[in-house]
Amino acid sequence: MRAERILVTGADGFLGRGLLHALATRPEPTTVVAADVREVPATRRLLGIAYLRWDVRDEGLAQVLARHGIDTVVHLASIVTPPKGSTRALEHAVDVGGTRKVLDACLAQGVRHLLVSSSGAAYGYHADNPAWLTEAHPLRGNESFAYAHHKRLVEEMLAEARVRHPQLAQTVLRIGTILGERVDNQITALFEKTRPLAIAGSDSPFVFVWDEDVCGALLHALDGKGPPGCYNLAGDGALTIHAIAERLGKRPLVLPAGLLRSALRLGRSLGIGRYGPEQLDFLRYRPVLDNSALKQRFGYVPHKTSAQALEAFIAARKAQGRPL
């Protein structure tokens, strides 16, 4: 069933802005409430969108849902890249506690459909990950990575709710590494280095998804075109760090795992490194997402493959005169 009255959390984030723009420009009449912890300036507000300053940690969402007669909630609010001074407790409160409040409010007000942006990180970074992860594989987000661990906890919460409250349909998208014309994230920062880091003995395969395909999948669900469920969202194929470096026109810097682990440990102990030795697993044990269910069961086919997304990202950076 097509969503008619939608509330979006994290609406002023990267994905939220893209989704709002797509919803605001559609010819079909739709009520959209955009909720975000930040006050959206008037110059960036879109016609036909109701803006609400609201923190997912706060109470009162149920009343907002009731006031606007919301039938569908798109929950995008989470901390992907922690800001300076962030704490694990804050990130847990937003990612896990905030999702609990959203879920409880949806159940209290009889919301029909809940869409959640999860991540391939929920599968975890493990040496025994299969070559391709399907939705049938267990979620093992490592406790040493706050984002991965919190996504796992969120999904466990949602899985329990699906059993206890089947009246609330859920669509959960486990998103791969997002690339786009204006994307800057932890992964793109690796590509900007003169020599992208590679770990000896590891291919470090990446799956990419173009930002417009993430928006496309959300719209597909909002239009009721795909059955609810959990889906890996990524373009076809994967690229090793060596293939990525070649497309960037660079030579990878290949370091032994032991040397890199020691350097990261030293940097953390001296307070000069952002990451610790656990970051080694983030680089060498990438979760590689199989998107078969997305295409065959959900009915959404990404327009760009992983390789095409990377090539489009590189082309966009060159057109913008930005370094790579």
Gyration radius (Cα) of the chain, Å:
20
- The label of the residue with tokens 């999860």 reads 118
Each of the 324 residues of the chain gets a pLDDT tens digit; together they read 899 999 999 999 999 999 999 999 988 878 999 999 999 999 999 999 999 999 999 999 999 999 999 999 999 999 988 888 889 999 999 999 999 999 999 999 999 999 999 999 999 999 999 999 999 999 999 998 999 999 999 999 999 999 999 999 999 999 999 999 999 888 898 899 899 888 999 999 999 999 999 999 999 999 999 999 999 999 999 999 999 999 999 999 898 988 888 877 776 676 665 667 777 888 899 999 999 999 999 999 999 999 999 999 999 999 998 878
CA nearest 170: which of 111, 217, 96, 95? Answer: 111
- Residues 247 and 312 sit within 8 Å (Cβ to Cβ): no
Within a 13 Å sphere around the CA of 302, how many CA atoms are in the beta-carbon half?
30
What domain range is 162 assigned to?
A: 5-179+209-234+288-302
CA nearest 118: which of 61, 54, 74, 52? Answer: 74
Amino acid at 257: A
Residue 228 makes CB contacts below 8 A (sequence gap 6+) with: 113, 169, 170, 171, 221
Residue 254, domain member (yes or no): no
Residue 83, domain member (yes or no): yes
Residue 74, domain member (yes or no): yes
Check residue 275 and give its pLDDT: 65
Residue 138, domain member (yes or no): yes
DSSP state of 289: B
| Total Cβ atoms within 10 A of residue 318 | 11
- The sign of the dihedral angle between the CA atoms of 163, 164, 166, 170 is negative
Three-state DSSP state, 197: strand
Residue 198 makes CB contacts below 8 A (sequence gap 6+) with: 204, 241, 242, 245, 252, 253, 254, 255
Residue 90, domain member (yes or no): yes
Q: What is the dihedral of CA 159, 165, 171, 177, to 10 degrees?
A: -30
Total of domains in the chain: 1
| Total Cβ atoms within 10 A of residue 32 | 24
Residue 292 makes CB contacts below 8 A (sequence gap 6+) with: 134
Check residue 321 and give its pLDDT: 87
Residue 281, domain member (yes or no): no
Residue 154, domain member (yes or no): yes
CATH number at residue 133: 3.40.50.720
| Residues, the chain | 324
Three-state DSSP state, 69: coil
Residue 63, domain member (yes or no): yes
Check residue 156 and give its pLDDT: 98
